[in-house]
Chain A
């Protein structure tokens, strides 16, 4: 292969591996009846939105070199608390729309607690968020053991309505969140601080970055967007159940890492995780359309993930091969 072509291929794979994967899946999809329709496309996006929110949250935390296992419980607890508050604790006294606004704030609070514990007390974030994962899930099960199936329109609005009868509000919220996050990461002081400390904490500290405040802010953002995600999920399903989001954290990690975010911190792009969330959603959609049995879906997904990780590992090697002769 000529060197020029090689470099071009490298650039595509290095920066846009996940987009290449996405394209591949779409091409496969073209041969699957039912894939190429507005309805199917809308459904894919709709189903992807809640996951997308959690992935965005983990993205922020992972950029600082941390992790947050509790996102899937925040995802459930934040809307649950708001719903129980509006329906049970103070029925007919609070405007349900107000509860909608409170949900992300509950998430933010949870994130702050995670952040304060892991950063100020210097406890490993894995352990802290493992604990809050269990505590919050327990709270949800305690509060709504049977689930809640009738909810005011205001609460389900974000997750269930469509604009012009086509585009789900939920998708707009998701894309808007990513747009704001893009600005924060690339054009805001916070983003610069996050990348600096994610790549070299000592250097960032000496350069005047407030390390703990930045890290805690990332946990808070993660809780906030997980709360929004929970709200979208509740609206989409028009119900809140006790095991909502349970086990999803693994898929959240898969999406974040597949999107090119480094586990060690400091490396990641919004575009990458956006595409990764779509990839996951399309894989699930294709499996649906193929009629893959639910019992073997996990196996298929695992293999796809392994292949993607192998491809991602090639990026590093590719980079070395391209740079060396220069």
Chain B
């Protein structure tokens, strides 16, 4: 069965499938990771990486297939985190789950403190073990300090050390661990991984990432996931960033949301004077030198990896982060944005990225959520709201976007993700903005609703405003944007324009990853 019999296998997936309602998140994946190997799993958002890893860690049972580890297997029947743990699997998540108020020592030994015959905890033994651990991972932290005071990267390394030295894991899964590391730390981690892979018998590391550069740097082999399938496994030494990018993107050129741009307003006649003129905008430590002109009728995309500055740029345009350099001018006049209220008063509206945390007002009605940003339009000089007029406006908007809700008075909590998002879009539209900033408008939205939302952005919002949109999906950007600004390490490195030959999903993806400079 196993084509790589000459190598001892650390773990292997045999035709593993995981179904979610309406989606094949992981589709009959077979792969084998060798002992002593650093193996990458790469793919775009939604390619199925996290589901795959969660299944190996026992967090999600597979629908079919099995995962062989040693002479035992995780199957749809017996899958559980405890069982995977017994088999030596350890997942280091992006945000390690520690008890924030307990010390480093107590967290490392939580639930497995060494005790003497009387059941007393042997603090000295614990302290010695932790000291050795911290030294090995070059962590300059006090073992008595509380975990909440550690940076995320230190917490990740601590979790890694714990998995390796205390839990003695043999199948180590690292989820985007390198994203927040500094260059030196990354180098150190790489050397550690290589040493452990060599020294510890039967161990394997699996690195989940959506950054090509990291995978090329760290891994011996890499498995590419696309649409739930493992489409290729490559030797990094015999491959290139270009080849990897090609496998990741595939030839699926945005079949789902193609050619929507044709439906909206066309910008053939670009006005001489732009609505918004941004010059040299920057926030220290996040992004710098952003120049951009925005006109009513166009959709501009911001694309980039996490930490590339695209989110910070969008938030600065809304006054959520104060700019440390540059200017924003609207209709020829410079404007200062210190709070969202000021931005809204200037006609700038934002759809935030994290819907539940930053947009939805829980426990309140659909109507109130729709009107929250625009109540002053329905209030008299005393602040009393004309309830009838306000309700009518909310009802119109709700009907126009086909929000599925029993009534306007229904609590928003009862709506599905897609319908909540429509309410948020309505809240934004009710302010009649001239500039619309959208941070991942289709995030957490049912597949069937996504095209509707994008169509609204393209045909309705762009008709009356300049739209700036961030999306993790290159397909969406290509489908509705006129221009796409590529952010890489805090700067706009390229602008792709509709109509040009390089205005493709593949090019956007390669530029985001910085493939050309690898």
Contact = CB atoms under 8 A, between A and B. Distances in A.
B443 interface: no
Interface stretch (A31-39, A90-98, A137-145, A203-211): A203-211
Given A189-B376, A189-B384, 19 more contacts: A188-B379, A188-B382, A188-B384, A189-B379, A189-B385, A192-B371, A192-B375, A193-B375, A195-B361, A196-B364, A203-B352, A203-B357, A203-B361, A206-B318, A206-B320, A207-B340, A208-B373, A209-B341, A266-B364
A192 B373 contact: no
Given A206-B352, A207-B340, A187 B387 contact: yes
Contact of A189 (B320, B364, B375): B375
Contacts of B320: 206
A183 interface: yes
Contacts of A205: 339-340
A190 interface: yes
B358 interface: yes
Nearest to B351: A206
Contact of A187 (B372, B385, B427): B385
Contact of A196 (B318, B339, B340, B372): B372
Contacts of B376: 189
Contacts of B384: 183, 187-189
Contact of A207 (B362, B379, B385, B427): B427
Nearest to A195: B364
Contacts of B427: 207
B166 interface: no
Interface in B300-336: 318, 320
B344 interface: yes
A200 B361 contact: yes
Contact of B358 (A196, A199, A206, A208): A206
For the side of the interface on B, what is the size category?
20 to 34
A199 B363 contact: yes
Interface in A191-248: 192-193, 195-196, 199-200, 202-210
B360 A200 contact: yes
B383 A188 contact: yes
B363 A267 contact: yes
B350 interface: yes
B341 A188 contact: no
Contacts of B375: 189, 192-193
Interface of B: 318, 320, 339-341, 344, 350, 352, 357-364, 368, 371-373, 375-376, 379, 382-385, 387, 427, 431
B383 A189 contact: yes
A124 to B, nearest CB: 18
Contacts of A267: 363
A151 to B, nearest CB: 35
Given A206-B352, A207-B372, A207-B373, A196 B361 contact: yes
A183 B380 CA distance: 14
Nearest to A204: B361
Q: Which 9 A-B pairs have the closest CB atoms?
A: A208-B344, A189-B383, A207-B372, A207-B373, A208-B341, A196-B361, A199-B361, A189-B379, A189-B375
B340 A192 contact: no
Contacts of A206: 318, 320, 340, 350, 352, 358-359
